[in-house]
Amino acid sequence: MIIRSVEFMGSVVSNDQPFPGDLPQVAFAGRSNVGKSSLINRVLGRPRRGVARVSASPGKTQALNFYEVNRSFFLVDLPGSGYAKAPKAVREAWRVLVRGYLAGSEQLRGVVYLVDSRHAPTAGDLEFVGYLAETGVPMLIALTKVDKLKARDREKGVARRVTEQLGVSEDQVVASSARTGEGSEELLDAIAALLEMEEGS
């Protein structure tokens, strides 16, 4: 997939708010400090002039942010989970928003879930992946920040360990780096495949 255009189309802050259009959707999700915005910018070919806001403070994304890509689909940036610096009530509201979206969006074609390659999946990761499995939404795991791994750690098979812990197959896992661009082409190919599956159904 070649990225020709990206345009921010608006945010959704509640489950009764309409989407900014009827295009098919692919969502990006993950813990609030996993590097989601940086990876989105890299995948969309905007690593320096980003479209998704990058912050040193986890939890910057507080809504469902819709980016129209190639005028053909929405990439949806979901609020991060984890230790975002927000009151418990606000974090719970984000959780309700995200789960309502995942279960209720008829345009959702798949989810790219980000996991930090340097650490074992957390309880929150396991919960989110388990919920996606229950909804039946196609899922891809992006291992982030692989450029920060030591060579011996990669050789030990980080991807294999994550697949075992999350209960997914190895072909669902892509090693990625927002800094070097590793994995970006694979992620774009996977997104294209999700959209083609829908067209062919």
Identify the bridge partners of residue 75 per DSSP, sorted by sequence position: 26, 67
Identify the bridge partners of residue 175 per DSSP, sorted by sequence position: 143
pTM as predicted: 0.87
The number of domains in the chain is 1
- Structural domain containing residue 66: 7-15+22-200
Q: What are phi and psi of 111, to 5 degrees?
A: -130, 130
Question: Worst-scoring range by mean pLDDT, 4-8, 146-150, 185-189?
Answer: 146-150
In a domain, 30, yes or no: yes
Taking the C-alpha atoms of residue 175 and residue 189, their distance in angstroms, rounded to an integer, is 14
In a domain, 2, yes or no: no
Confidence (pLDDT) at 76:
95
In a domain, 1, yes or no: no
Residues 101-117 pLDDT 10s: 999 999 999 999 999 98
CATH number at residue 44: 3.40.50.300
